[in-house]
Structure 1
Amino acid sequence: MNLMIKAIIFDFDNTLMDRDMTFRKYAEQFVCEHLDHLDPQTQDVIVSDLIVRDADGYRDKQAFFEEMVEVLPWKKPLTAAEIKTFYNTHYMTHACRMDYVEEVLAYCSHRGYLMAVMTNGQHQIQYGKMDNLQLRDSFHTVIVSEDAGMKKPDPRIYQMALDQLEVEAEQCVFVGDHPVNDIWGANQLGIRGVWLRRNHKWDDSLGMKPWKSIDQLNELLEII
């Protein structure tokens, strides 16, 4: 055990939860229920288009819902408010774990690390996904940006996690997939970052590199 490391902070979407698969399953349900007049091949094309328009979850949700109203080949159109209600009700129910989550969390717990989740998003959605995956109780603290009143990469939200875990920055590691929100943001406070390479390319203009980089979550076990 690395005695300098006392705590691990995890990002949630596309770090502990496979957001790619989660959103795909949600989109498939939406298209199946609301565009059922279309043939299966056309439905598949629309699902793929929705995935692109969603932009890995970084698209403004209200703008996304309004765009869906305009671009989808409706038989019985929905309003943006109705699409939002469907999303808030069903999206979280499709939550899928990333590979090796159970193994990694069990290892961290066995080694005595304090663990936290820090995630940008709405309270209802983020906690709903965690609870569907039965992950919330694995962590000593959970920070959701809506509750915190700030979001990554605001340095105050990382400090909030350090304060709640009662550790110093140099005793902590942040694991996440987003170069800015997870790795660069944590680095501003001196927290070492482990970058899980997923959908985002590294931005060389950040002027720093991750402490470590991994392609699968279980590679973390070789680091900590």
Structure 2
Amino acid sequence: MHIKAVIFDLDNTLMDRDMTFRKFTEQFVGEHLGHLDQHIQDEIVSDLKVRDADGYRNKQGFFAEMVEVLPWNNLVTASEIEAYYNKHYMTHACRMDYVEEVLAYCKYRGYRMGIMTNGPHYNQYRKMDVLQLRELFHTVIVSEDAGMKKPDQRIYQMALDKLQVSAENTVFVGDHPVNDIWGANQVGIRGIWLRRNHLWDDSLGMKPWKMIDQLNELMEII
């Protein structure tokens, strides 16, 4: 296999969403539920991570659930939580470990590089800009702009067309079994699965080309 291009997912692949969300919830709980003992606050932070479902939940539904289930001293509304989230969440944004080394290696090797991410235009571009990622890539595809989202086969073909490479010369790196690995496989792109929060679904009828636990393992593969 002669690799010419590497396409990356964004959340929990280039951006450490787990750490970003945890730091945000620690700040939120500390400020709004400071009347509770620290160990209870820690339990609430862990519970919110589960309820958030790795970011795949509708945000308004998540915020409304927080209003109902948290042990408030001074009740806040879902809209107030949303405003707090919009103001503070990205202040905790951080890159995944080894991003700098991996992207520098890809550039050194002369690979075409792309980001493909599901989500709203404003949110996803804000993440990339805060983390100073956008300028490092030859192309960026955000699902809202594309009018389709992973795992729609057309969005992977769009990336190949923009990068001017073929599927057999391209790998896709991401943490989601369906959106990043299975979807890419449907058009012939080899998937490198970064194991984070998702379990592999054997009903997909395929396996990742490669599996990694840290991004720096990618350099030996490619």
Fold agreement, TM-score > 0.5 = yes
The whole-number CA distance in structure 2 between the counterparts of 1:27 and 1:45 is 11
Q: Distance between the aligned counterparts of 1:37 and 1:126, measured in 2?
A: 34
1:111 to 90, 102, 109: 109
Q: Deviations over 1:103-142 (max 9, x none)?
A: 0000000111111111112222222222221111111111
Point out the more displaced range, 78-87 or 51-60: 78-87
Q: Could you say what the CA RMSD is over the residues aligned between the two structures, in angstroms?
A: 1.3
Of residues 195, 198, 214, the one that matches 2:212 is: 214
Q: Does 2:129 correspond to 1:127?
A: no
User: For the residues of structure 2 that align with 1:149 and 1:92, how far apart are their CA atoms?
Assistant: 25
Secondary structure, counterpart of 1:48 in structure 2: helix
Residue 67 of structure 1: SS of its match in structure 2?
Answer: helix
Query: What is the total number of aligned residue pairs between the two structures?
Result: 222
SS at match of 2:145: helix
- From 25, 28, 36, the counterpart of 2:26: 28
Q: What letter matches 1:130 in structure 2?
A: M
CA distance in 1, matches of 2:51, 2:122: 23
Code of the aligned partner of 2:181: I
Where has structure 1 moved over 4 Å in runs of 4 or more?
Answer: none
Letter in 2 for 1:67: E
SS at match of 2:216: helix
Shift of 1:39: 2.7
Distance 1:86 1:140 in 2: 34
Q: Which residue of 2 aligns with 1:56?
A: 54
Among all aligned residue pairs of Structure 1 and Structure 2, give the percentage whose two residues are the same amino acid: 78
Q: SS at the partner of 2:96?
A: coil
Correspondence 1:8-27 to 2 at 5 A: 8-27=6-25
Q: How far, CA to CA, are the matches of 2:187 and 2:100 in structure 1?
A: 29
Q: Which residue of 1 aligns with 2:189?
A: 191
